[in-house]
Amino acid sequence: MILVDAPRRRCLAVVLAAGEGKRMISGKPKVLHELAGRTMLAHVLAAIAAAGADRIAVVVGVGQEAVAAEAKRAAPEAQIFVQAKPLGTAHAVLAAKAALAEGFDDVLVAFADTPLVRPETFRGLRTALAETGAAVVALGFDAARPEGYGRFILEGDALVAIREHKDLAASELGLNRCNAGLMALAGASALPLLEAIGTANAQKEYYLTDAVGLAHARGLKAAAVTVAGEEVLGVNDREQLATAETVLQTRLRRAAMLAGVTLLDPGSVHFSFDTELAADVTVEPNVFFGPGVRVAGGSTIRAFSHLEGASVGEGCIIGPFARLRPGATLERDVHIGNFVEVKAAMLGAGVKANHLAYIGDATIGARSNIGAGAITCNYNGFAKFKTEVGEAVFIGVNSALVAPVKIGAGAYIGTGSVITENVEANALALARERQVQKPGWASAFRARNRK
Ligand code: UD1
Ligand code: MG
């Protein structure tokens, strides 16, 4: 495949996001629902940016400020256009007329509710425009059950029209090459074609798909590119959202394994769109990676761990049943065991917190050992405070470190201590009641109570 030389062919991408998405039964617009920790809209914006779009126009509906805000967050350079009324896909593209009129070589049209299209596919549409000199390149797929989709009308190999399901003649109902909806238009003929589209169809809508028939009628060429149906899955309800999630998770797991990650039970590991696992990371079953996780080589994430916004150095062992929250930064060879939670904390090389602990808003020096049940008391109900632990410190079991507090390097904190004052380096700090012993008390107690 010849790749498009993006700098030479300038590309405008128009992303249609004006749909209401009623079938989601949701208080939030459809395209703001997430797949692998990122909105559908942001997935599409990322893919078209990766396909070399120089300009992005996002078409939203009236009152869809939240959609516009997410578009701006995900692609700050995007221009927002409002489609006053949902009169059809061609009408929606024309909402971005001001951008189209600036003159681009390639115009890509993407749907924000079709979130699994890969950058390669968008690039493939652009390549087809460049190679065939077509005015329109449509994206198709073969469906076992084509009902509902627009169909490609072919004469030999040539694409001459796309007909919406509701406009098909009885003899055309069996056609199974379907229109995925997205397409690429040659910039020079895009506006004249779009503006010629009318509403003489079953739904009285302005169909983008009519660009193909119009191009053919004007002696311009139309071409088609086909992909697997799952890549162009459109999301209209929660069930399709879950199907899309499954497809995406399968892709992410596969990419991780091909990059040298061992997944003991791939189907039970949930990735985010940006999960970064280095070669020779091993992930046991039932692990959840929320957004923003990086794990360096040789580390093992043991079963039932939940990680989010965390960075894990080389050779670490996390879990089973560990929780790393945003801002957890672990240097090499750190061990985090069962029921240990780490948040906004920097753990130096070789730190061990193997059982039942909370480390939040803290720095823990290299080689320190955090005993079972140790807690950083970081919050007084109003504000958060820091705990600073030096290198090679031993925090005894069931200690409470009441922040703000500093523990000097090499210090020992006696089991069960409530530490409210700074501890100097290499000291032993004990902050608990001395043990009292009453010899014979138990036998006397029993004698008193025996009948
Ligand atoms: C469209 C295609 C159909 C294709 C199908 C694939 C047209 C006319 N038909 O049909 O050939 O098989 O997708 O899923 O293009 N939108 C707006 N404003 C509008 C109308 C739509 O922004 O006025 C947006 C929607 O939010 C959606 C996208 O455009 O993201 C597609 O619209 P939709 O109504 O779903 O088109 P389909 O009937 O599915
Ligand atoms: Mg649709």
Model confidence over 399-408: pLDDT tens digits?
999 999 999 9
Same domain assignment for residues 303 and 203: no
Q: Does 150 contact ligand 1 (Cβ within 6 A)?
A: yes
Q: Which residue has a Cα nearest atom 22 of ligand 1?
A: 18
User: Do residues 73 and 141 share a domain?
Assistant: yes
Any ligand 1 atom below 6 A from CB of 209: yes
56 and 150 assigned to the same domain: yes
Q: Phi then psi for 123, rounded to 5 degrees?
A: -65, -35
Are residue 177 and residue 58 in the same domain, yes or no? yes
CA of 182 to the centre of ligand 1 (A): 9
pLDDT at 157 over 90: no
Task: Kindly report the protein residue whose alpha carbon is nearest to atom 32 of ligand 1.
Answer: 89
Query: 204 and 285 share a domain?
Result: no
Distance (Å) from CA 101 to ligand 1 centroid = 23
Q: Give the single-character DSSP code of 4.
A: P
Residue 446 falls within a domain, yes or no?
Answer: no
Q: Give yes or no: residues 189 and 312 share one domain.
A: no
User: What is Dmax (Cα atoms) for the chain?
Assistant: 110
pLDDT tens for each residue of 40-92: 999 999 999 999 999 999 999 999 999 999 999 999 999 999 999 999 999 99
Name the 3-class secondary structure at 142: strand
Residues 407-445 pLDDT 10s: 999 999 999 999 999 999 999 999 999 999 999 999 999
Q: What is the mean pLDDT of residues 357-368?
A: 98
99 sits in which H/E element: helix 97-100
Is the shortest distance between the CB of 140 and ligand 1 below 6 Å? no
Residue 91 falls inside a structural domain:
yes
Do 298 and 337 fall into the same domain?
Answer: yes
59 lines ligand 1 (CB under 6 A): yes
Which residues have their alpha-adjacent CB atom under 5 A from ion ligand 2? Answer: 234
Nearest ligand 1 atom, CA 164 = 11
Q: Find out whether 178 and 142 touch, Cβ atoms under 8 Å.
A: yes
Same domain (yes/no): 200, 90: yes
Q: Give me the DSSP letters along 46-98.
A: HHHHHTT-SEEEEEEETT-HHHHHHHHHH-TTPEEEEESS---HHHHHHTTHH
Same domain, 362 and 306: yes
Measured in Å, residue 147 CA sits from the centre of ligand 1 at 14
Segment 215-258, tens digit of pLDDT: 999 999 999 999 999 999 999 999 999 999 999 999 999 999 99
pLDDT of residue 141: 98
Whether 135 maps to a domain, the answer reads yes
Residue 3 pLDDT: 61
**How many angstroms from the chain centroid is the CA of residue 372?**
34
Whole-number Å distance between alpha carbons of 111 and 117: 10
pLDDT of residue 20: 79
Six token digits for residue 289: 């990676």
Query: Quick one: which ligand is closest to 89's CA?
Result: 1
Give pLDDT, residue 451: 77
Average pLDDT over residues 136-150: 96
Query: What's the pLDDT at 57?
Result: 98
Range of the domain at 61: 11-232
Q: Is residue 162 part of a domain?
A: yes
CATH code of the domain covering residue 370: 2.160.10.10
Contacts of 107 (CB under 8 A, 6+ apart): 11, 12, 13, 14, 100, 184, 185, 186, 187, 190
Residue 85 lies in a domain: yes
* Span 9-27, pLDDT tens digits: 999 999 999 987 899 999 9
Place of tokens 């996780």: 293
104 within some domain:
yes
Nearest CA to ligand 1 atom 36: 89
> Does residue 86 have its Cβ closer than 6 Å to ligand 1?
yes
Evaluate whether residue 209 is within a structural domain: yes
- Looking up residue 192, the CATH number of its domain turns out to be 3.90.550.10
Distances (CA, A) of 300 to 258, 264, 319, 336, 356: 17, 11, 8, 11, 19
Pairing between β-strand 158-163 and β-strand 151-155 as defined by DSSP bridges = antiparallel
Find out whether 360 and 366 touch, Cβ atoms under 8 Å. Answer: no
pLDDT digits (tens, 9 = 90+) for 289-311: 999 999 999 999 999 999 999 99
**Ligand 1, from 40, 111, 205: best to mutate by most atoms within 8 Å of Cβ?**
111
Task: Kindly state the tokens that stand for 272.
Answer: 């985010």
Q: Residues 59, 190: one domain?
A: yes
Domains identified in the chain, total number: 2
Which ligand sits closest to the CA of 14?
1
Two tokens, residue 352? 């061990």
| Structure token pair of residue 404 | 């703000």
406 and 425 Cβ atoms separated by less than 8 Å: no
Say what the pLDDT of residue 6 is. 46
Q: Is the CB of 314 under 6 A from ligand 1?
A: no
Residue 33: inside a domain, yes or no? yes
Average pLDDT of span 154-167: 95
Which tens digit of pLDDT belongs to each residue from 311-357? 999 999 999 999 999 999 999 999 999 999 999 999 999 999 999 99
Pick the atom of ligand 1 nearest to 30's CA. Answer: 26
Average pLDDT over residues 275-293: 98
Can you tell me which atom of ligand 1 is nearest the CA of 162?
11
Q: Within this chain, do residues 69 and 154 fall inside the same structural domain, yes or no?
A: yes
Predicted confidence band of residue 8 (pLDDT cuts 50, 70, 90): confident
Instruction: Tell whether ligand 1 has an atom less than 6 A from the beta carbon of residue 315.
Output: no
Share above pLDDT 90 across residues of the chain, in percent, rounded to a whole number = 97
Structure confidence at residue 5 (pLDDT): 55
Clarify whether residues 196 and 260 are in a common domain.
no
- Catalytic positions, written as ranges: 355
- What is the per-residue pLDDT across 88-130, written as a single tens digit (0 to 9) for each? 999 999 999 999 999 999 999 999 999 999 999 999 999 999 9
User: Measuring from atom 13 of ligand 1, which residue has the nearest CA?
Assistant: 181
DSSP assignment string, 255-289 = HHHHTT-EESSGGGEEPPTT-EE-TT-EE-SSEEE
CA dihedral 249, 250, 254, 255 (to 10 degrees): -40
Place of tokens 């089991």: 415
C-alpha 232/C-alpha 426 separation (Å) is 63
What's the CA gap between 387 and 353, in Å, rounded?
A: 15
